[in-house]
Amino acid sequence: MAKTLLWLQSGGCGGCSMSLLNAEAPGLVTSLRASGIELLWHPALSEASGGEFLELLHRIADGKQPLDILCLEGAVMRGPNGTGRYHLLAGSGESMMQWIAKLASRAAHVVAVGSCAAFGGITRGGGNAVEACGLQYDEAERGGLLGEHYRDTSGLPVVNIAGCPTHPNWVTETLSRLAAGELDAGDLDALGRPRSYADHLVHHGCPRNEFYEYKASAAQHSQLGCLMENLGCVGTQAHADCNIRLWNGEGSCLRGGFACIDCTAPGFEEPGRVFTETPKVAGIPVGLPTDMPKAWFVALASLSKAATPKRLKDNAAADHIVTSPSRTSKGRVIK
């Protein structure tokens, strides 16, 4: 029997759905079909609207329509004063917050798609006037709409497919594993993110890694050098496989020349600094690579800079490769 999936959107931009539509190898429809998932409704893919949509929600809430997976995209908006009335579900007279809670109580699994649904994300920024939160987190604090102790019928917490936006295959892979009953608590990290992507760092596979190793840094965003030292990149701390599992087979933020801002983490939207600048103390970046003691970083950085090949120094400060690697034969440089 097919597993049923309902996808709702709350406080957000819809970017995770836009990304999802670019799923490839396989595409979205093929992936859902192969996983035995029946899509009951999605705001961008389904024809049903108005009364038909509300009827579906009522049937689920009343237990007449089984729901295996509830996906929420966008933050839960609890304002004003915890009433949820900043975001009413049209035609129902009730807040989206109330509907999410009712449907979550009926779903076999609950999935937060994107950092807004997981932690509050961008919607929570700027003083959080709308009282936005995630399904089971309020930024980095456990709680959110469903509460710290929420568990689904299989014992899982909310599955937080965090990202802004999410990679389409993070979503299809997670849904497939849920439908097959092959995702358990050990497959999630401490923030409820699937370890299939969260056990990696954005730094892994970064095309600028050689520049990083020699601390050959860019000073401007158009340059090829490492973006960590001067331009705000936190790819050495961010949990995701963005440079391994590329967007559209070839893209990532860093490949496009943009610093990683750690969009899979709670609170990324307000880092307390300019996104494109690296805060430093005595010339040392405040945000060091994961698990790297400061003393070791300083020592290695000094050694690396002293050994930087001229080729990397030239290219790091350019917007294209100006000096190519030398050809060698049996250890001898061929000029």
| Same domain (yes/no): 149, 13 | yes
- Among the candidates 198, 226, 259, a domain finishes at 198
Q: What's the pTM? A: 0.93
Q: Are 239 and 193 in contact (CB under 8 A)?
A: yes
Which residues are CB-neighbours of 80 under 8 A, at least 6 positions away?
86, 131
| Same domain (yes/no): 191, 66 | yes
Residue in 297, 207, 293 with CA at minimum distance from that of residue 244: 207
Alpha helix segments (H runs only) across the chain: 15-20, 28-34, 50-61, 96-106, 115-119, 168-179, 195-198, 209-213, 294-306, 310-316
Q: Are 225 and 218 in contact (CB under 8 A)?
A: yes
What pLDDT score was predicted for residue 334? 60
- Among the candidates 136, 165, 198, a domain finishes at 198
CA dihedral sign, ordered 20, 241, 291, 223: negative
| Same domain (yes/no): 147, 261 | no
Number of separate domains in the chain = 2
Residues spanned by the domain of 9: 3-198
| Same domain (yes/no): 78, 224 | no
Q: Are 224 and 264 in contact (CB under 8 A)?
A: no
| Same domain (yes/no): 163, 298 | no
| Same domain (yes/no): 244, 329 | yes
Q: CA-to-CA distance for 70 and 120, rounded, in angstroms?
A: 18
Q: Helices H, strands E: what count in the chain?
A: 10, 13
| Same domain (yes/no): 172, 276 | no
| Same domain (yes/no): 269, 298 | yes
Q: What is the mean pLDDT of each run of 10 residues along the chain (335 residues)?
A: 96 96 93 98 94 97 98 98 96 97 98 98 96 98 97 96 98 98 97 98 95 93 94 96 93 94 97 91 79 77 86 94 84 61
Q: CA-to-CA distance for 235 and 310, rounded, in angstroms?
A: 25
**E strands within 213-270?**
none
| Same domain (yes/no): 95, 178 | yes
What pLDDT score was predicted for residue 148? 97
What pLDDT score was predicted for residue 330? 65
What pLDDT score was predicted for residue 271? 93
What pLDDT score was predicted for residue 302? 81
Q: What would the two tokens of residue 91 be?
A: 């035609």
Phi and psi dihedrals of 208, rounded to 5?
-100, 10
Domain CATH number, residue 62: 3.40.50.700
What pLDDT score was predicted for residue 298? 77
